[in-house]
Amino acid sequence: MDITSTTPILVENFEPAQRFLRIAVVTETWPPEVNGVAVTLSRLIQHLGHRQHTIQLIRPRQDKHDAGVENVGWSELLLRGLPIPRYPQLKLGLPSKKALIKAWSTRRPDLVHIATEGPLSWSALQAAQTLRLPVTSDFRTNFHSYCQHYGVGWLSKPIVAYLRKFHNRTAFTMVPTQAMKDQLEGMGFKNLKVVARGVDTQLFHPNKRSDAMRESWGVTPDTMVLLSTSRLAAEKNLNLTIQTYQTLIAQGRKVKMVFAGDGPMRAVTQAKCPDAIFVGMCTHEELATLYASADVLLFPSLTETFGNVTLEALSCGTPVLAFDCAAAGEFIDDRKNGWLVPSDEPHTYIERALEITQDSATLVQAREFTRISVAQLGWDEIASQVETIFKRAIELG
């Protein structure tokens, strides 16, 4: 063969194949526990699994019968936990650094993602650093804001210091809104990435509206149904929801209040709103029907890092009355798909509710723009954004 031939050699430039990751996810809450962290994290991980990544879930054992699940591409490592004060249905994971080092030395993940900031997660961060594993995290709960509602406001500064130390040891911390990113950067948090929460737009859909459910509440077609879907607790600003409803009734508005959820303020809320409907804890399917069957979601919480209920209601075609913060501040266009009130003006919140309930045409107009405003927040798109951040963290080592 004449190797001196001048015939050109063609070398094709093949794109690298998709890299599937081994991801260890650490969380202190998981379904069937019902809260925003458990719900959104489970959805995200489900979609990461659909993208062929291998998931190892590390969480506290929820009860003595909890054995965990192991399937192709999915495994669970269950560790010890204790009930959280005031939230007995949730567990606080206990420190488990040695167990995690042992587990990750045997089956080394490409990346550790930490979704909560309790003792289990702190030990996971230490274990990952010992093994030189890249780590990312989520900022999901305003613990420092919750302190004000439980008479321990003096704890706020130490908690912020702990959270800052925790998250600044990770490659990236994902936050749900630009406003939260700005706030945390002002407190000294670094390497923040904005990733919105997703919403299941197939489950949360306007076609879930149920005339039968509305009839069971004793309402007529011209009754305006107000919905509250949150823990019945002080940190959710529940007193303002109660005050708003009482004012509407006193002003002769034809409204019906429906409370979904449970918590320490249920008894006092029932006493103050004897004509309201209390449906207790609900499944996601039940919530979808509730959202779609209501006319307005009242969501006055000021302690959310995001507030998944905002997206769920909008996806169901139900406008939201909220303060200008968290998800509401990002996704509600005032007087178009809902109503925004400055966060330091509770009196304006009530005034806006009076305005909304005075003219039903206001609601009809708002419903036209609700679902389209969250159409881009399907979970597959969110999973793609998170996947990109994971791969960047691995590249940085």
Same-domain check for residues 151 and 42: yes
* Range of the structural domain that residue 321 is part of: 206-374
Residue 276 maps to which CATH number? 3.40.50.2000
pLDDT averaged over every residue in the chain: 90
Same-domain check for residues 163 and 213: no
pLDDT at 208 over 60: yes
> Is 350 inside any structural domain?
yes
Q: What is the pLDDT of residue 147?
A: 41
> Is 15 inside any structural domain?
no
Lowest mean pLDDT among 24-38, 198-212, 230-244, 312-326: 24-38
Same-domain check for residues 294 and 178: no
pLDDT at 335 over 60: yes
Q: Strand, coil or helix: what is 176?
A: coil
> Is 9 inside any structural domain?
no
* CA pair distance 6, 2, nearest whole angstrom: 10
* CA pair distance 199, 306, nearest whole angstrom: 12
> Is 192 inside any structural domain?
yes
- Helix ranges (DSSP H) in 113-265: 119-130, 143-146, 156-167, 178-186, 211-216, 238-250
Same-domain check for residues 55 and 185: yes
* CA pair distance 197, 40, nearest whole angstrom: 7
Name the band, by pLDDT with cuts 50, 70 and 90, for residue 24.
very high
Q: What is the pLDDT of residue 317?
A: 97
Same-domain check for residues 330 and 281: yes
Per-residue pLDDT, averaged over 47-64, amounts to 94
pLDDT tens track for 72-97 = 899 999 999 887 766 666 677 899 99
* CA pair distance 329, 157, nearest whole angstrom: 25
Share of the chain above pLDDT 70, in %: 90
Same-domain check for residues 122 and 265: no
Same-domain check for residues 356 and 383: no
pLDDT tens track for 61-70 = 988 888 888 8
Lowest mean pLDDT among 84-88, 216-220, 273-277, 300-304: 84-88
**Cβ atoms within 10 Å, residue 231:** 20
> Is 11 inside any structural domain?
no
Same-domain check for residues 138 and 167: yes
Q: What is the pLDDT of residue 333?
A: 96
pLDDT tens track for 353-373 = 999 999 888 888 899 999 999
Name the band, by pLDDT with cuts 50, 70 and 90, for residue 143.
low
Same-domain check for residues 58 and 153: yes
Q: Strand, coil or helix: what is 346?
A: helix
Same-domain check for residues 218 and 153: no
> Is 162 inside any structural domain?
yes
Which two tokens mark 185?
């950067």
> Is 127 inside any structural domain?
yes
Split into its structural domains, the chain has a count of 2
Same-domain check for residues 388 and 354: no
Same-domain check for residues 180 and 35: yes
